[in-house]
Chains A and B, each alone.
Chain A
Amino acid sequence: MKKTLAKPSFHALAKTPTGIQGLDELTGGGLPRGRPSLLCGGAGCGKTLLAMEFIVRGAQDFGEPGVFMTFEENPAELATNFASLGYDLPALVARKKVVLDFVHIDRSEIEETGEYDLEGLFIRLGYAIDSIGAKRVVLDTIEALFSSLSNTTILRAELRRLFRWLKEKGVTAIITGERGDSSLSRYGLEEYVADCVILLDHRVEGQVATRRLRIAKYRGSSHGTSEYPFLIDEDGVSILPITSMGLNHSVSIERVSSGVDSLDAMMGGKGFYRGSSVLLSGTAGAGKTSLSAHFADAATKRGERCLWFAFEESANQIIRNMRSIGIDLEPAVRSGALILQAERPTVCGLEMHLVTIHKLVKEFKPQVVIIDPVSNFAPLGTEAETKAMLTRIIDFFKMHHITALFTSLMGAETFMESSLVGVSSLMDTWLMLRDVENGAERNRLMHLLKSRGMAHSNQVREFLVTDHGVELRDVYTGPSGGLLTGSARAAVEAQEKAEALARQLGTAGKKRELAHKRQAMESQIAVLKATFEIEQAEAIRIMEQDDTSAAVLAVDRAHMSGLAQSSLAGGRRPPTPRKRGRAA
């Protein structure tokens, strides 16, 4: 493939889409066009079904008629078997889209005498292909010939010729074969069909059966090499090659509310990024489901569709329980905006869950998905399997721009925590809910462990579940440094309130005191001023008096001198005027 890319003059390998969910992604477009591919697997692996889906999808979706040559089941049996998958084989046959040819070889009827070849098979196949212009051929299971005809030398030579002939015919073919012990197929068909070999497997692990598919060989093409789980359900085969996806999904800068304002506030007031993955982990009863309900409620109120996988509670139970905290999910369920998909996780294997999730998401096209709780997947597989599955779910949601909320139960199961640490690295936002115990109470705390690409609060908040929903409160740090929650927090809150009140009262008093002081000061100033004025007035009066006395004295003196002069004549001494002045 890389060589083809480097030299664009070469033609890339032409491929025929199978139309089977996942297989085309895995093979980079389908099976090699005009070549036979080998499909090997044990009994009950889904070989016939996968092959038939290839034919039916080709006829229905790609306009490529097909021939299904069966060596095991007759057309009536096939029609019945596939009617349950919604394939109307008789109708396709009638419309000349499909030819079913049952090659029946009864060992007891056959006698081999001398030389022969399988030209009869070629003629039948050629006749079938030409009658409808088939582009696709399935031979299921041609190995049946080995049990009917004893001359394997002739058989092998003829099979080699058959596959070459199929290539010359230019039909895209699937040849099914039983899985062999030491080789890919029991009769070594891979020797002849060398272009593409797909292995199917059906294993039971921990009482859960899982079908897996692996592309053992794909000449001239890159392909996924892992084992991919696949599922057979009423829609046929679904394969999940999600891990092969690169991390190149487009991202959104749009934000979606978590449904709790105070939580949004912790994330810059806007909530999660659309299309991001949110992990909400917490101990039992920490409020994971309640927070999920908020998220679902907010989504449906925005007019979005929400898909809620509930692995612990039934739909009705969730609706009832959430009503108790003031969230009514029922209208959304009725209007079809919310699907509550309640299932016991143990009902099927991990892959089945993955496929269920895939299918529902593809049908319902939700903007928001809630998985509550994702930790219930843990017992269904090994740690690695669980992680791989979650990775695939997360990648899948991201590709479809689905904002996904995963809740996770943490606690005694340390195993899950460790596997969650692995998964948490895939998460964009990680909310941690936990219980704290103090003062004979258990209270809930929440903090944002991480939230990629946005400023977020580092604060631990108290998480309250009230009858009108979830609330986040600031957490108080006690005098000893410990966190205060619940009634202890309420007590501190009350105390602080009281102190505040007291402070408030104190301030008012000071103000009044100050006013009083000012008043006192001002009155003192007034008194001083008044005193000063009195004194000033007195001084002025005295000064005026002095002036008057001086003048009077002067007049007296003048008068007296006049008298003295007369007394000199009369011989008598007048009294000193100074004394009189002083006395005044």
Chain B
Amino acid sequence: MKSKLSKSANTTISFEQALATDVPPRYVLRLYVAGMTPRSSRAITNAKAICETHLEGRYDLSVIDVYQEPVHAVNDQIVGLPVLVKELPKPVRRIVGDLADTDRALVALDLKPRR
């Protein structure tokens, strides 16, 4: 019993070490907005700020105006706008809103542990 416990503890430690030493993943992000509204501008600004602060040098952020390319709205299952789609790393996640709530956005992007 004792040895088993220590074994599982060792595994956990090694996993955490691996996580720490691993190269941080590259982020592929798409920000969908609907026209250049103030809300769209806010979303773009907030997205860029988050990326620069937390993902410097390891992100691709593309901004798509759905009005210009409505077919994207269908293909990428867009409902609420603006929306930041985290394509990579998996899992895919959609962050709906103008990203004003940075904490929630960071959690959704797996850049901050869930409370």
Contact = CB atoms under 8 A, between A and B. Distances in A.
A219 interface: no
B91 A116 contact: no
Nearest to A148: B79
B74 A149 contact: no
A149 B79 CA distance: 10
A13 interface: no
Interface in A108-148: 108-121, 123-124, 126-128, 145
A110 to B, nearest CB: 5
A104 interface: yes
A503 B82 CA distance: 114
A118 B94 contact: no
Given A119-B66, A123-B67, A123-B73, A113 B97 contact: yes
Interface stretch (B10-18, B22-30, B54-62, B104-112): B104-112
Interface in A69-117: 101, 103-105, 108-117
Nearest to B70: A127
Nearest to A158: B80
Given A112-B104, A119-B34, A124 B96 contact: no
A112 B97 contact: yes
Given A120-B34, A123-B67, A126-B70, A113 B100 contact: yes
A70 to B, nearest CB: 13
9 interchain residue pairs of minimum CB distance: A114-B100, A111-B108, A120-B78, A114-B97, A127-B70, A113-B101, A114-B98, A119-B34, A113-B97
A120 B107 contact: no
Interface string B65-87: 01100110110011111110000
Contact of A110 (B34, B66, B81, B96): B96
Contacts of A126: 70
B97 A118 contact: no
A123 B91 contact: no
A114 B77 contact: no
27 contacts: A103-B77, A104-B77, A105-B79, A108-B91, A110-B80, A111-B93, A111-B96, A111-B107, A112-B97, A113-B101, A113-B104, A113-B105, A114-B46, A114-B97, A115-B98, A115-B100, A116-B82, A118-B80, A120-B66, A120-B79, A120-B81, A120-B83, A124-B70, A124-B79, A126-B70, A145-B79, A149-B96
B90 to A, nearest CB: 11
Contacts of A104: 77
A113 B35 CA distance: 19
Nearest to A101: B74
